[in-house]
């Protein structure tokens, strides 16, 4: 990551300080730093934390830049998705043992059937959860949307989510063997450019 001075608003600094887990605070900060690094290098935009606005549901956006972004983190990885084409939602989760009973509330009957028939239940549960989270983050309404109303659908070369009569496009992004990551958009997802940031 470049030697660039990141100006963080007092609101964001206070939010960072409220994290109980220091690792989560670091990953949240890293996600924000990646955002400004991408804006500076790729789009030649010198935005600061004070340029970020929020919808009534707390989804962040830039009022004066034609850029949409979303940030997510899990365990030891933070990711930032940026696009000029429509809204974006991105989510990453670590693959670990999960009981279907713990997440049954977020699954449709069809999804439960697929999981029960699967040889790799943990991975499929996390996969479905991550897909749905990417849509939740795209729409920006948080968990006010019942996850059981979102249906994951897969075709040969086309992954979609069906919610409220509308199809949303999703694409899996490989990050690491033990992580699951998806990006979601209302528009077709064509090219994805991935850059790794290391200290």
| Residue 122: CATH number of its domain | 3.90.470.20
Nearest one of 141, 27, 29 to 92, comparing CA atoms: 27
Instruction: Judge whether 4 lies within some domain.
Output: no
* Residue 121 placed within a domain: yes
pLDDT at 11: 78
pLDDT for res 13: 73
Domain-located, residue 55 = yes
Query: Whole-structure pTM over 0.85, yes or no?
Result: yes
The answer to whether residue 196 is domain-embedded is no
* Position 190 in a domain: no
Look at residue 3 and tell me if it is in a domain.
no
Q: Is 191 a member of any domain?
A: no
Number of structural domains (the chain) is 1
Q: What is the pLDDT of residue 1?
A: 53
- Count other C-beta atoms under 10 Å from residue 137's C-beta: 23
Domain of 84 in residue numbering reads as 10-185
Question: What pLDDT, on a 0 to 100 scale, did the predictor assign at position 130?
Answer: 94
52 pairs with which residues across the strands? 62
The reply to whether 100 falls in a domain is yes
- Cα(12)–Cα(197) distance, rounded to whole angstroms? 21
Cα 115 from Cα 26, distance rounded (Å): 34
Token pair for 79: 């990711």
How far is 82 from 34, CA to CA, in rounded Å?
10
pLDDT at site 4? 54
Q: What would the DSSP string read from start to end of the chain?
A: ----PPP--HHHHHHHHT-SSHHHHHHHHHHHHHHHHHHHHHH-----GGGEEE-TT--EEESSSS-EEEEEEETTEEEEEEESSS--EEEEEE-----HHHHGGG--HHHHHHHHH-S-HHHHHHHHHHHHHHHHHHHT-GGGS-GGG-EEEE-SS-EEEEETTEEEEEEE----TTEEEEEEESS------------
Q: Please list the pLDDT of the chain residue by residue as tens digits (199 residues).
A: 555 566 677 777 777 777 777 788 888 888 988 999 999 999 999 888 889 998 888 889 998 888 999 999 998 899 999 999 889 999 999 998 887 788 778 899 998 999 889 898 888 999 999 999 999 999 987 767 888 899 887 654 568 898 988 999 999 999 999 999 999 999 988 888 888 877 5
């Amino acid at each position: 990551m470049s030697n660039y001075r990141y100006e963080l608003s007092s609101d964001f600094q206070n939010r960072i300080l409220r994290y109980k887990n220091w690792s989560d605070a670091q990953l949240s900060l890293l996600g924000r730093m990646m955002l400004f690094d991408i804006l500076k290098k790729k789009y030649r935009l010198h935005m600061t934390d004070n340029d970020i606005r929020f919808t009534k549901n707390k989804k962040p956006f830039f009022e004066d830049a034609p850029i949409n972004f979303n940030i997510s983190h899990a365990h030891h990885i933070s990711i930032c998705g940026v696009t000029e084409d429509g809204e974006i939602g991105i989510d990453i989760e670590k693959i670990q043992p999960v009981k279907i009973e713990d997440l049954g509330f977020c699954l449709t009957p069809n999804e439960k059937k697929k999981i029960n028939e699967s040889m790799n239940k943990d991975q499929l549960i996390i996969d479905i959860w991550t897909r749905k989270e990417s849509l939740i983050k795209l729409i920006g309404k948080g968990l006010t949307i019942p996850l059981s109303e979102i249906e994951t659908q897969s075709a040969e070369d086309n992954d979609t989510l069906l919610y409220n009569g509308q199809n949303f496009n999703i694409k899996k992004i490989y990050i690491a063997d033990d992580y699951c990551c998806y990006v979601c958009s209302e528009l077709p997802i064509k090219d994805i450019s991935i850059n790794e940031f290391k200290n």
